[in-house]
Copies of this chain bind each other. A is one copy, B any other.
Amino acid sequence: METWDTIRSRRNVRDFDARPIGQGDLDRILEAARRAPSSNNEQPWDFVVVRERAAAERLSGVWHYGGHIAGAAAVIAFVGGASDEPESREWIAFDMGQAAMSAMLAAADLGIGSCHSAVGDQALARDVLGLPGDREVVLLLSLGYPADRPLAPIAMPSRRAFDDVVHRERW
């Protein structure tokens, strides 16, 4: 898909149809995340991709609003270091945001919807994913084909108005 169409088509998708995501498509989404830029090119991430239904169902318990995870065709866990240092945590979060956006756009390009989930219960996430104790999951990303309607450019996204968020030269 043309890039501009992809950017305008990405939306949160929480209900997925039963169609699986092909291995090649999933690897492309992961490759898009891998290519994201990061502070000093530190790439503070690992990606655990889950396709087993039982594991996805367990992962859906990590967050009150994580119900969409149980029905996803695949879930990517964005895993970083469990730093206690606030400034380090901010940079990891920023870089994870870049990697997630890159993955979501690569998915949208393939007609695949996505939805974020925060992770409250890190112990559960670590157990399901087999993570070492010095790692934590910053984000789970559900992926799958939309149950409702295919992705297509959205004319009027639910966002603050352009002239409200954009300032020219000065605030």
The one of B28, B52, B102, B162 that contacts A105, using a Cβ cutoff of 8 Å: B102
* Copies of this polypeptide in the complex: 2
- Name which of A7, A130, A159 has the most chain B CB atoms within 10 A of its CB: A7
In the complex, the answer to whether A116 meets B37 with C-beta atoms within 8 Å is: yes
Q: Please name 22 pairs of A and B residues whose Cβ atoms are closer than 8 Å in the assembled complex, sorted by A.
A: A1-B2, A4-B106, A7-B105, A34-B160, A34-B162, A34-B166, A39-B118, A45-B165, A46-B167, A51-B169, A52-B169, A79-B171, A86-B89, A89-B90, A90-B93, A94-B139, A97-B97, A97-B99, A98-B98, A129-B171, A132-B171, A135-B171
Q: Is A50 an interface residue (CB 8 A)?
A: yes
- In the bound assembly, the distance between CA atoms of A94 and B116 in angstroms comes to 12
Q: A32 — which chain B residues lie within 8 A by C-beta?
A: 7
- In the bound assembly, the distance between CA atoms of A33 and B50 in angstroms comes to 29
- In the bound assembly, the distance between CA atoms of A47 and B164 in angstroms comes to 9
- In the bound assembly, the distance between CA atoms of A135 and B58 in angstroms comes to 40
